[in-house]
Structure 1
Amino acid sequence: MNDAATLLPEDEARARILALAMPLSAEWVALEDGLGRTLAEDVMAQRTLPPWDNSAMDGYAVRAADLAGALPVRLPVLETVFAGGAPRQEVRPGTCVRIMTGAPLPSGADAVVMRERVRPVPDGGADEVDVLEAVVPGQFVRPRGEDAREGELLLAQGTPLGIPELGLLWGQGMLSAPVPRAPRVAILSTGDELCRADEAPRGRIVDTNAPSLALAVRRAGGLPSLLGIAQDTRDSVAEALSRAHGFDVVLTSAGVSVGERDYVKEVLAAIGVEQHLWRVAIKPGKPLVVGKRGSTLFFGLPGNPTSSLVTFELFVRPTLRKLLGHADVAPARVSGRLEGKLAKPPGLAHFVRVVASWKDGALWARPLSTQTSGALRSAAAATHLLHFAREASSLSHGDPVELLPVSWGA
């Protein structure tokens, strides 16, 4: 039966899921461990940086008014000031000071002339120069407090901590920062057909979902824990999920569709997990179940390896980012063009694995030869997911397309 019309659209499903998630409690971490995380509270500046007006160039500190007339202007050089030093003399009218990048601007000076715009006076030694170019007040001067002023808001709560932000905090003398703690994520695979990679298969297949999802969780900023493999029985699934206490998120793979031995939904309900959605209008990844018990979020992901990665990308990763305090959590999207053709029945949005490369002034997306959800090889080669809209049935060569960069690549 075609029930696509009753399934949740991808964006609505994600909105419902994100409404269930709130940033986690704060912890203090060393700044170098805060990269990629967010601030859990406002940070106020404790220091004014730079603490003084300083030169942005190697050159000569001058009074701009002295250069307002005919050029060149000959000026005596009172002294040289290096970065880390301090000026000893005031720049009086008709004088200048040789200055290096980062050195404090002497009193009386209001601009800097680049060294390249100054000519030594023949036989004048280093005591006189001819200035060849006029400047305006403030030119090549980095003003006091340009980076921060004591008492002002330096970085607001929720600010993602990139390298420049961490540099600002180090500049304030901070060695640690408050960030939402990393989400603890339990991961369970289900299926009689599965074995661990260190076991002899004996007619089974190696479980790649759990270790792959663990890496995806770690890359998203979470702390993964593997719960093992549950057999396709109610008791085995229930026993495994009984070990999922104390986690912020629980991920299961397989057992969420309508098969005779798909027990995950049933067991989740039995242990008190309130179901908030089941099945999304996407391919791969339609049989997705999401619920909540207390503060713990449960995701029943599909069992096919690529389906589990795609649903992680579309729904789990944004949730982990919200738990980590990020405001912009939806998957990034970029514009591109289709290389080749695509066709499908309307009803489900397809997320097509593609390789995208820049040529002829556009990002061209080439669909990979296999799109079966059980084939990890296509996920391994993919750089983006192409969003083939739910209502669309065909795309032609050169058509504009929406691309989602995948986070699972190298």
Structure 2
Amino acid sequence: MTLLRLPRSASAVQPHPARRMRLVATGMLIAMAALFAAARAAAHLHPAIGFVQAFAEAAMVGGLADWFAVTALFRHPMGLPIPHTAIIPRNKDRIGDTLAVFLRDNFLTPAVVARRMRHMDVAAAAGRFLASPSGGDGRLREGASRLAADILEALGQERLGGMVKGAIGQRLRAIDMAPLIGQAIEAAMRDGRHAPVMDAVIGWADRALEANEHLIRQMVHERAGKVLRWTGLDENLANAILSGLRKMLADMAADPEHGFRLKAEEGMAKLAADLQFDPDMKAKVAKVRDEILDNPAMQRWIEGMWEQARAGLLRAVRDPGKAMAGRFGEALRALGGTLQQEARLRIVINRFVRRAAVGATASYGDAIVRLVSDTVRGWDAGTVTTRLEQAVGRDLQYIRINGTLVGGLVGLAIHMIDTLL
């Protein structure tokens, strides 16, 4: 019967590079010991064998010395508590602090970040990605999409929604609406944009008068005396009132300089000034704003707006290719093209990104440094030793190999000089 064997993983088949190089260096040391023993036993056969013996002897000394030096960095050689060995485990806290200081002084200072960001064109890179998103690294895009989706789903609707709705409410409550409304009215009147509004109000009043003509006639009839009703003069009075109102509205619509119209504009100008400078008017507008925001209907509207935005974000991050295919994608691609073509816009965006990065470094640089230091301090000695040895151990084993070869060559040179002299 043939047994099926499942293939082992690459990590199970091949040892770690540092471990493999350690085996090579140790194998060279053993080979030099065997060569020394063989040459010593056969030294009487020929004088040239003495050169081999000298090479092997010096190679063993060099290899052993470098083995001791490399091993002493990470642990006690042969488990013996020799002074000044196991240097990294004994000094891991100082190493973490030194690494943190190095990061702070060379990478996480506002001056260094500003200098490095000055040579980065973030806006152009974003423009190239937006203009041609399919040309980027697909794995990076998919990984970022999955990360964004996981974050949105992990926070949940209530938690993230509460944060967003609370932030929206705070921002709206922080806005002083009265001066904004007053400035808008003042600017509209200065540019003459209020005239269509006045015309619309006059037209609405004319239509309202026509639709409620019977109510005016009834009101005049009820308030007229018996004599007027008996003689029918109440009907004439109602007709005169309606005719006068129609004529006034027609004159206001036709004449921009009509007295009533100028009075209305004067009232609008006063309202604009009060909204900007009158504390009582500002307080009234703020009260109305808060009442609107506290209204359950407004809360439901904000909640619905957030849910729609969240659903759209989830659809976009789950399927970025589909999101980029619609009008939203067209807008993003157009934005990417604009970023690549408009130098002024790139300058503004790059300046904003640089200031944001510098500000974040100034605010959180020390926290990042403390995080690095505390993380290293939290590692146990075995973790520090293993991670550093895996990172640089392969090169350290080359030191052992070079020490073995160089020691052997030095021993060979000394033996040659001794023989010649």
Highest Rg: 1 or 2?
2
Higher helix content, 1 or 2? 2
- Name the TM-score, length of structure 1 as normaliser: 0.17
Greater relative contact order: 1 or 2 (C-alpha under 8 angstroms, separation 6 or more)?
2
